Amino acid sequence: MLLKVENLTKQFEGLVAVSDVSFQVGAGDILAIIGPNGAGKTTVFNLISGILPPTSGKILMQDEDITCLKPYQVAQKGIARTFQTTALFDQLRVLDNLAIGYKLKTTTGFWSTIFRTRGWKEDRDKCTQKVLEVLGFIGLAEKTYSLVSTLSQEEQKRLAIGIALMSDPKIILLDEPTGGLIQEDTDSITALIRKMKKTGITVIIIEHKMRMIMDLADRIVVLNYGEKIADGPPEEVSKDAAVIKAYLGGEYIA
């Protein structure tokens, strides 16, 4: 197992946002986390990526305990993420945004930057190479020099995924990557996620669009009021009585 979450609990004052949640993700899988609003999905992401410290429980990446690491250290372990409200460097251009995502792969610091040492130049060339590769992968090559503010919603969401891909992560956490998009755009993002899976990247995704997630996910974890109420392949989960009651209701007919 690539990532293991064991008995994760997060309390905010009196509120239990995440309660004793455990799940595992195998390498190359797409795991979906679903649940009604306020079920604790984003909190789980924030706990994994180090933005919030858990109250108790453990997070293991390839059997290494990463529970109390800072966000930038978690990123260095190979876990990248996107945010629910699309987070980008909106003062900068598309290629600058991507280049920043490569920073953690470089070793150069102040002196090598000033003297443009051989190591610095190698990093620069590798970074350029990677930027071009990711631009092609996310299909934004034509927008290389555009300012982020001139991109469409869907392009911005692809760019956010692109930034995460720059560091060659083992796992990528996508928080509602198609939130607020129309069906056509949702399909293009879904296709991008499938393409990522093909390159061997493990994906954990939070989504509300049931039809999309049932097609896409290898496994689904269902949260409700911070607790895990189901965990299994899509067919199984969609027939689970507790899930239908809590979340799917009449909306999804399996």
Partner 1 sequence: MAVRLFFKEKWFYLLILAFALTVPFLVPGRYFFQIIIMSCLYAMATLSMNLILGYTGQASLAHAGFFGIGAYGVGLMTKAGISFWAALPVSALLAAFIGLLIGLPTLRTRGSYFAIATLCFGVIVSIIAGSWVSLTGGYTGVVGIPKPTPIPFPVIGKLSFNSLTAQYYLVLAFLLLTLFVMHRLVFSLQGLSFMAIRNNEALADAVGINTFATKILSFVIANFFAGLSGGIYASLIGSISPSTASYMLTFNWLVYLLLGGVATLSGPIIGAFAIPVLMENLQFLEEYRLLIFGVLLIVVIIFSPRGLMGVIESVWNKSKAKNPVRKAGGEYAAEGGKPDQAI
Does residue 167 interact with partner 1 by CB under 8 A?
A: yes
Distances, alpha carbon 135 to alpha carbons 36, 158, 159, 190, 214, in Å: 34, 10, 9, 17, 28
Residue of the chain from 9, 24, 62, 108 that contacts partner 1 (CB under 8 A): 108
CA distance 146 to 114: 28
For residue 63, the minimal CB distance to partner 1 (Å) is: 21
Does residue 104 interact with partner 1 by CB under 8 A?
A: yes
HSE toward the beta carbon, residue 186, CA cutoff 13 A = 16
Residue of the chain from 16, 51, 52, 60 that contacts partner 1 (CB under 8 A): 51
Does residue 152 interact with partner 1 by CB under 8 A?
A: no
Does residue 244 interact with partner 1 by CB under 8 A?
A: no
CA distance 192 to 172: 13
Question: What are φ and ψ of residue 154, in 5° steps?
Answer: -70, -40
Residue of the chain from 10, 31, 43, 120 that contacts partner 1 (CB under 8 A): 120
Strand bridging mode 15-25 / 3-12: antiparallel
For residue 90, the minimal CB distance to partner 1 (Å) is: 7
Does residue 85 interact with partner 1 by CB under 8 A?
A: no
206 close to 42: Cβ distance less than 8 angstroms: yes
Interface ranges with partner 1 (CB under 8 A): 49, 51, 70-72, 75-76, 80-81, 83, 87-93, 95-96, 98-104, 106, 108-110, 113-114, 116, 120, 123-125, 127-129, 131-132, 144-147, 149, 163-164, 166-167
